[in-house]
């Protein structure tokens, strides 16, 4: 008799677990970041960006404009404004001890951003994103300067991708 009771108890526990899991999964509202129903695409296309003050900041700004508008450019009357502040740091990583020169490094671009509604200045989202690109330093100075610039550009584009994802998530809520 007690064996039957144990079987029934195990069966009821299993059914309760399946039902609880089903309810939990049904309560999740996972949807694509750029879904049509959330209107994120339209909201992103109505975002304006602050003017750049440096070459790296201009690279970040250009990429953000492209990502937000899907290549259409900035809107004339934006509903949202993003203030961006980007800077770059280049660090030597592989030092040749005999010549006291570096053969490789890292370029890190950090972007501080604030998303505001233009009608009332309400801050919707603020944050910081960064990206790092590795760089090899050639012996020629011009080639080294160009390699650093290319690494900064790669890091700036990647950091802009992170910021764009944050903006889409904030506007999709």
Domain ranges in the chain are 1-30, 36-171
Give the model's pLDDT for residue 77: 84
- What is the pTM for the complete model shown? 0.73
C-alpha 60, offset from chain centre: 12
C-alpha 80, offset from chain centre: 18
According to the CATH classification, is domain 36-171 in 3.30.160.150?
Answer: yes
**Interatomic CA distance for residues 32 and 30, integer angstroms:** 7
Report DSSP letters for 96-119, one per residue.
ETTTTEEEEEEEEEEEEEEEEETT
Q: Which of 84, 16, 75 is nearest to 44 (CA)?
A: 75
Contact 152, 88 (CB under 8 A): yes
Per-residue pLDDT of the chain (173 residues; tens, 9 = 90+): 556 766 777 777 777 777 767 666 665 555 554 455 556 777 777 788 889 899 999 999 999 999 888 777 777 788 889 999 999 999 887 666 666 677 888 999 999 999 998 889 889 999 999 999 999 888 888 988 999 999 999 999 999 999 999 988 888 87
Tokens of 80: 């949202």
Find the DSSP H helices in the chain. Answer: 2-27, 40-44, 55-69, 141-171
Give the model's pLDDT for residue 87: 94
Give the model's pLDDT for residue 8: 72
Angle of the 141-171 helix axis to the 55-69 helix axis, nearest 10: 40
Give the model's pLDDT for residue 128: 96
Cα dihedral: 8, 14, 20, 22 (round 10):
-120
């Amino acid at each position: 008799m007690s064996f039957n009771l144990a079987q029934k108890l195990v069966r009821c526990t299993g059914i309760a677990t399946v039902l609880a899991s089903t309810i939990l999964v049904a309560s999740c509202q996972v949807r694509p970041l750029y879904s049509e129903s959330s209107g994120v695409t339209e909201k992103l296309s109505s975002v304006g960006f602050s003017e750049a003050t440096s070459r790296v900041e201009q690279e970040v700004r250009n990429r953000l404009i492209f990502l937000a508008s899907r290549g259409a450019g900035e809107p004339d009357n934006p509903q949202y404004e993003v203030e961006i502040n980007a800077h770059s740091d280049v660090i030597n990583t592989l030092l040749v001890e005999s010549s006291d020169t570096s053969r490789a490094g890292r370029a890190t671009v950090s972007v501080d951003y604030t998303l505001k509604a233009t009608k009332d200045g309400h801050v919707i989202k603020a944050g910081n994103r960064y990206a790092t690109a590795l760089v090899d330093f050639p012996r020629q100075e011009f080639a080294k300067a160009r390699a650093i610039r290319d690494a900064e550009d790669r890091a700036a584009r990647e950091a802009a991708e992170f910021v764009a994802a944050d903006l889409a998530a904030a506007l999709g809520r």
